[in-house]
Amino acid sequence: MRDRLFHAQIGRRGFVKGSALATGAFFINTKYSLAALADEPASPFTTAWTQPLRFAPYAIPLPAWQALDPLPDPARHQRYDEFSPRYFYNMEVCEELVRPHPQLGWSRCSTYEHSVPGVTFMHRYGVPVLCRINNQLPQVMQGFGSCDVITHVHNGHHAPESDGFPEDRFSPGTFRDHHWANTLASGDPLEAKGTMWYHDHCLDFTAQNTYRGLAGFFLLFDDLDSGNELDPNPDALRLPSGVPDGKRVRNRFDIPLIFTDRRFNQAGELLFDTMNMDGILGDKWLVNGFVQPYFEVERRKYRFRLLDGGPSRFYDLWFSNGMTFDVIANDGNLLPAPVTAQSVKLGVSERMDIVVDFSELPETTTEIYLVNRAEQVDGRGPTGNVLPMSQSPKLLKLVIRPDTGIIDASRVPSSLRARPAMDWPVARERSWHFDRTNGMWTVNGQLFDHNRCDAFCKQGTAEIWHFSTSGGWAHPIHVHCEEPILLTYKGKPANSGIWAGRKDVFSLFPGDEMSVYIKFRDWLGRYPMHCHNTVHEDHAMMVRWDIVP
């Protein structure tokens, strides 16, 4: 399988084997080393705000299940008959030439359905789907990335065979069926999630494949968060969205935004340092796959779904005028109550949903910017310094249109979604220490081995997991399938404000300690937990844990 991988790139196993006895000269003299890339010229100049913000198209289901050939095999999926799919998709992973700015060149990108970001999935709880993912990538990749793929719906509550375990990768010319039950964990409506995303999770190559474009939004709705601000249901929150018209047209005021940073060579082609084990930082700021776009907004409320798409950068997002907004969700989860804030911080793969009311701006304000005030100079993570507003990189220009008298029927209720009960007795506690050992990224002193299970967790029980790190590195930790609740941070209770709900990514900064409560419920099998600085993940900062009867 590995003989099809692209030239001039190396997997974790090969790197570990080849570099265990290497001297520092190995890194200095390697063409794609961190030091060598740092000496490369900066990306070509690009003029900001020349192109509008763009959105991926929606995923379109097949007219009927019979359109899949061969037909899906129910025996391959847990509880398939119980969650019989109502929609079927046939999604292609393929290579496309993409130009993220008119002043850059065309880059070879890996895409879901020819789009960067990938097509957006929008579904409701209680509507199971089956998605066939066809690998149509070339047999040999040019540049960087892997031709093998496996897709993970981040924060999805899915059986392991459809979760995207890294070793479940599959090759060009083959396919894999994913059964997404879209069911509530334990059937509890308080467990509903909204803002999720999906991305490649190929063993050793998650960073490279997502950098090439394999990522997209996966949004779920329920009776409470229905995606209709005119919903007549008295229980509906009626958050900013617009009104769905049944034709899968984007809700005008519900805006998914994926933030990434990239670097380009002097020909304007996408550049990736395959020998960098610390973390990849770019010098171009992309929103929804394009460099520094602009977005025209009405003078009314908008819901922005903010996602740090990585691979290694952290964000501290502010509006350039310092305006406040309501934080309504942390990761995929509505908070018990909105929190008024001036900024939100995101580690890789963390999400925040915010509601911004542009009607509160003075009539003389016609444009503002979304900026990143987190100083970060390398893969270690943010320095902790907050950049002055005038020196902060501008990511997105917001052009505020004149008042057109548009009716805003949306609202931000004082109560959103209560936190699920922690009502299962704790069967045991476990400790997970994320560190750098002999120059490699480890968990509890060990490199990842997909054949080794590091925790057998009994279905129907709950546990407390303790996360810690040492050294000068930041690690956003992601747990698959089950969603923990943060109990303590640095030994103190952490159950208020934006920490009052559930999370699936926990950003550990140097010396941090966290404790979380986690249940094991609906599915059996193997899952990973890993650092979501995907460069660290690909270099073995991951564990396998199993849910067992």
How far is it, in rounded angstroms, from Cα 439 to Cα 278? 10
Cβ of 428: how many Cβ atoms within 10 Å?
Answer: 12
pLDDT confidence of 244, banded at 50, 70, 90? low
CATH class, 2-12+42-221 region: mainly beta
pLDDT confidence of 35, banded at 50, 70, 90? very low
- For the cut 80, the answer to whether the pLDDT of residue 1 exceeds it is no
Q: Strand pairing partners for 430?
A: 465
Closest CA to 276 of 201, 211, 350: 211
**Kind of pairing between the strands at 215-221 and 118-124:** parallel
User: CA of 420: how far to CAs of 337, 417, 459, 500, in Å?
Assistant: 14, 9, 18, 10
Tens of pLDDT, residues 205-215: 999 999 999 99
Specify the fold of 254-400. Answer: Immunoglobulin-like (2.60.40)
**Kind of pairing between the strands at 333-341 and 325-330:** antiparallel
Start-end of CATH 2.60.40.420 domains in the chain: 2-12+42-221, 254-400, 426-548
- For the cut 60, the answer to whether the pLDDT of residue 9 exceeds it is no
Tens of pLDDT, residues 482-500: 999 999 999 999 989 999 9
Contact 493, 442 (CB under 8 A): no
Helix and strand counts by DSSP (H, E) for the chain:
5, 32
pLDDT at residue 32, rounded to an integer: 36
Helix (H, G, I), strand (E, B) or coil at 204: coil
For the domain spanning 426-548, the CATH number is: 2.60.40.420
User: CA of 127: how far to CAs of 8, 57, 142, 144, 337, in Å?
Assistant: 44, 20, 39, 37, 27
pLDDT at residue 464, rounded to an integer: 98
Burial class (CB in 10 A: 0-12, 13-18, 19+), 21: exposed
pLDDT at residue 39, rounded to an integer: 62
